[in-house]
Chains A and B, each alone.
Chain A
């Protein structure tokens, strides 16, 4: 299956409309999409407005390829599961999110072997046409960089502040 997800925050009709039209014109019957709460009714793909974390996990694991917005939840979840992922960034100018941070995310992660970033709908269609050539990828470790883990560990190990409600000793 191809698992399409727009994330939990808001719909992304430009992505869903493009995938739906692509599936229709290519006769694909292997697409399942989580589309958010939107008036858009896809015609050619299976869909649901929202899914809970359990089903999200299962859909990612069962997917051959993930297609989504350029959200870090989508990208990290795909990378941790070893799935190739195609992302279309939400644009601030189209009010698809608050700013163009997903454009920067797509530009950066598009360099990763597991991630294909589409600039726009036409490019997305070209990439969807190549989707059967995408194979499974090495899973990334589910762990932050050593530098960050170490920084947090040493911060946590520091002594408590002298004042404050939890800073005072309690009687054993």
Chain B
């Protein structure tokens, strides 16, 4: 028997273009129990009907902030227990994919459409932690991944 009828999806990203791209995926979560986690409370009104968590912003250059982000993401993941984690990057998405996988979720990395010439650094690192590992550029798709399955635009 399934644990619950509807799938729970954690959609998470850092701010700016990563968040704007994540929002364009919301139709894919129709019928799911979707919860968002991103770096600014100001984004809450973009997803008024979903549960919403604020997580600290961090880049891979700032270890202290990364630790705070890591702890907060663990709290969100343990509380929400998502079936699927979907992210458009960057550092918060990478950590969410790593931790989500450890906690049994299936994980999706969608590299930002800004990365036209190569996968982002965080995207390359996410490779072994993502069940679905996507570029938004067909010319970057290769056998063995990343795969191409359309774009946010």
Residues of chain A whose beta carbon lies under 8 Å from any beta carbon of chain B: 7-9, 52-54, 71-74, 76-77, 79, 100-102, 104-105, 108, 140, 142-153, 155-158, 160-161, 163-170
A149: chain B residues at CB < 8 Å are 25, 27-28, 150
Binding site for A on B (CB under 8 A): 1-3, 7, 9, 15-21, 23-29, 32, 40, 42-43, 45-46, 81-84, 86, 103-106, 108, 110, 112-117, 131-132, 134, 136, 149-153
Contact between A9 and B7 (Cβ–Cβ < 8 Å)? no
A-B contact pairs, 24 of them (CB 8 A): A7-B17, A53-B43, A71-B16, A71-B114, A74-B17, A101-B116, A102-B114, A105-B114, A108-B116, A144-B24, A144-B153, A147-B149, A148-B110, A151-B132, A152-B28, A152-B86, A155-B131, A157-B7, A164-B103, A164-B104, A165-B81, A166-B83, A169-B1, A170-B3
Report the separation of the CA atoms of residues A158 and B108 in the bound assembly, to the nearest whole angstrom. Answer: 13
Contact A152/B108 with A9-B16, A144-B28, A166-B3 known, Cβ cut-off 8 Å: yes
Smallest CB–CB gap between A121 and chain B, Å?
Answer: 22
Bound Cα distance A104, B139 (Å) = 13
Q: Which residue of B lies closest to A97 (CB)?
A: B114
Residues of A within 8 A of B20 (CB): 72-73, 76-77
A-chain residues with CB within 8 Å of residue B86 when the two chains form the complex: 152
Of all chain A residues, the one with the shortest Cβ separation from B112 is A72
**Docked complex Cα distance between A140 and B104 (Å):** 37
Q: Is the CB of A71 within 8 A of B149?
A: no
In the bound complex, residues from chain A placing their C-beta under 8 Å from that of B1 are 169
Residues on A with C-beta less than 8 A from B106 are 155, 158, 160-161
* Known contacts A54-B42, A157-B7, A166-B83; A72 and B25 CB within 8 A of each other: no
* Docked complex Cα distance between A135 and B150 (Å): 30
Instruction: Establish whether residues A101 and B114, one from each chain, have CB atoms under 8 Å apart when the complex forms.
Output: yes
For B136, what are the chain A residues with a Cβ–Cβ distance below 8 Å?
148
Complex CA distance for A168 and B25, rounded to whole angstroms: 28
Q: Contacts A155-B106, A165-B103, A166-B105; is A145 near B153 (CB within 8 Å)?
A: yes
Closest B residue to A7 by beta carbon equals B16
**Is A148's CB under 8 angstroms from B117's CB?**
no
How far apart are the CA atoms of A77 and B107 in the complex, in Å? 27
Chain A residue at minimal CB-CB distance from B38: A53
Please determine whether A155 and B17 come into contact, CB atoms closer than 8 angstroms: no
Contact flag A155-B152 (CB < 8 Å), given A72-B21, A73-B19, A143-B27: no
